[in-house]
Amino acid sequence: MSPRVVADPPEHPVREVAEQERERQCRDGLGEPDGGAEEATQDPDGDETAEHRDDDGDPRGRRTKTFHTVAFAATLKRLRFAGVDGERTPAPAFRLALCRGTALHSVAVAFCGDGDNDRPMTPTLDEIDLETVPLGRTGLRTSELQFGTWRFGRVTEAGNVEIDEARAHELLDAYEAAGGRYIDTADVYGGGDCERWIGDWLAERDRERYTIASKVYWQIRDGDPNSRGTNRKNVRHRVDALLDRLDTDYVDVLYIHRWDDETPARELMKTLNGLVESGKVHYLGASTLRPNAWKVARANEIARSEGWEPFTVLQPRYNLVDREVEGDYLEFARQQDLAVCPWSPLGQGFLTGKYDREEDLPEESKAAESSRFQEAYLTAENFDLHDELDAVADEVDASPAQVALAWLAHREGVTAPIVGARTVEQLEENLAAAAIDLSNEQVDRLTAAKPGPYDGL
Ligand SMILES: NC(=O)c1ccc[n+]([C@@H]2O[C@H](COP(=O)([O-])OP(=O)(O)OC[C@H]3O[C@@H](n4cnc5c(N)ncnc54)[C@H](OP(=O)(O)O)[C@@H]3O)[C@@H](O)[C@H]2O)c1
């Protein structure tokens, strides 16, 4: 990826203002646009293999030995999905599942031998074959792992673009090859470049086959307070602009990126309902922090009493170490049958095994660039949890990232985690998590590894 310094596009100077807004929100204890510690990012041009070394220093060795397990797990999952242990037992589905799982395993054996060696092996994206699950009660189905594009066009502290257009398209291709069809973006990602690049990619495809979710909220024009939040003027303008960048007539899900206390819930819901009625937006989502869940509940009450469209999708931060949504937030989602699509499912990379208590920080890592990430994630308590994650990963012959994603997918009320990745290699590893099954005992051990209560953001 070629480093370049990117100035904010004149028509959409969101980045600088969003950074200022994020700082303000952090000072106020409200969190920030894209996660608890994401302000610094690594130089994406580094040695990617360093992230995949196992204990023996064998690059990506863990992935080699885990692919056998992934292949077998895929077989088992497909058998179960076909109804072997449940209600649905159509014989053709059973045979298809067996065939596909067996084929996947044959590929593994062909490339890896019988599992006694650690020869590097890349799972075939075509063989991952993500399934779909209901997106709450929208009637839509979503890929079981959604793809997050926050890093597209994102400028690092060193002034490099973390994921450039070519890499972005490679990642989208990879996700598509694995059967993924749900793309999560936001109008501030990459100062608007992210949506433009997705739009260019979509232009060569049948748009109807993809579910696109975007978000509005963060300030986009310096010195213009009305270009922030969810007031009607801002939301209407922002939605028109994002549709233009995505080169589409509608987004499937429009999130409010954060709750705006300055706009009354009634005005917000009326504005959003108008967008749904106009056909520019199909469903409404709230990417909110736990303390604001009651505001979403109240907004939905207003919407229902007026016959307007309510929020049907929630996007909270949720992963093994960030558990503040457990309890009332997830309970609220369950009660209202709302879809829950967690962001930062890998704790922005902490849960991938790339960090160690004793070792120096990997040069090309968020932690190396961000003291805030270090404070938030590299704690004794989190490393204790990671020890348990490593133990379970060894038991099921998978990587920590795959087990962390599988744990999240097992949590009651979770619809589909939003997987992030900076490289195609990372994405392959993460998407293969869809085939990992954990026992109840393993899920319970991981859940107990970081005992609550958990602070809100
Ligand atoms: N609504 C919101 O406010 C909000 C906030 C944040 C994110 N999101 C959405 O959620 C998506 C996912 O969030 P996230 O990017 O924080 O997810 P994440 O999965 O927790 O972290 C992804 C990062 O972890 C590292 N990583 C991922 N897989 C890896 C692997 N297998 N091995 C080693 N490192 C790996 C990569 O960073 P490095 O290589 O740089 O270490 C990657 O960019 C975003 O793209 C966005 O769509 C929404």
What DSSP line would sit under 139-180, residue for residue?
A: S-EEESSEEE-TTBTPBPTTS-BSB-HHHHHHHHHHHHHTT-
Residue 3 lies in a domain: no
pLDDT one-digit tens code per residue, 341-399: 999 999 999 999 999 998 888 877 788 777 888 999 999 999 999 999 999 999 999 99
Residue 413 lies in a domain: yes
* CA 456–ligand 1 middle distance (angstroms): 20
Q: Which of 79, 112, 145 is the last residue of a domain?
A: 112
Using CA positions, which residue lies closest to atom 5 of ligand 1?
34
Query: Which residue type occupies 419?
Result: V
pLDDT one-digit tens code per residue, 436-447: 999 999 999 999
| Domain match, 326 and 356 both | yes
* CA 354–ligand 1 middle distance (angstroms): 13
pLDDT one-digit tens code per residue, 49-107: 222 222 223 333 344 444 444 555 554 454 444 433 333 333 333 334 444 444 454 44
| Domain match, 156 and 82 both | no
| Domain match, 147 and 105 both | no
Orientation of helix 265-278 relative to helix 232-246, angle to 10°: 30
Confidence (pLDDT) at 365: 76
Residue 53 lies in a domain: yes
Residue 225 lies in a domain: yes
| Domain match, 197 and 73 both | no
Q: Which of 78, 112, 146 is the last residue of a domain?
A: 112
Does pLDDT of 232 surpass 50? yes
Orientation of helix 424-431 relative to helix 165-177, angle to 10°: 20
Q: Into how many domains does the chain fold?
A: 2
Domain that holds residue 183: 132-449
Point out the ligand 1 atom lying closest to the alpha carbon of residue 343: 10
| Domain match, 107 and 140 both | no
pLDDT one-digit tens code per residue, 14-45: 444 444 444 444 333 323 344 333 322 222 22
pLDDT one-digit tens code per residue, 175-222: 999 999 999 999 999 999 999 999 999 999 999 999 999 999 999 999
> For 273-347, where are the E strands, in sequence order?
281-286, 311-314, 339-340
Does pLDDT of 428 surpass 60? yes
| Domain match, 320 and 221 both | yes
On average, the pLDDT of the chain sits at: 79
* CA 149–ligand 1 middle distance (angstroms): 9
* pLDDT bracket for residue 160 (50, 70, 90): confident
| Domain match, 201 and 323 both | yes
| Domain match, 222 and 311 both | yes
Where residue 198 sits, what CATH number does that domain have? 3.20.20.100
Residue 8 lies in a domain: no
% of the chain beyond a pLDDT of 90: 63
The number of angstroms, rounded, from the C-alpha of 133 to the middle of its chain's C-alpha atoms is: 16
Residue 4 lies in a domain: no
Residue 230 lies in a domain: yes
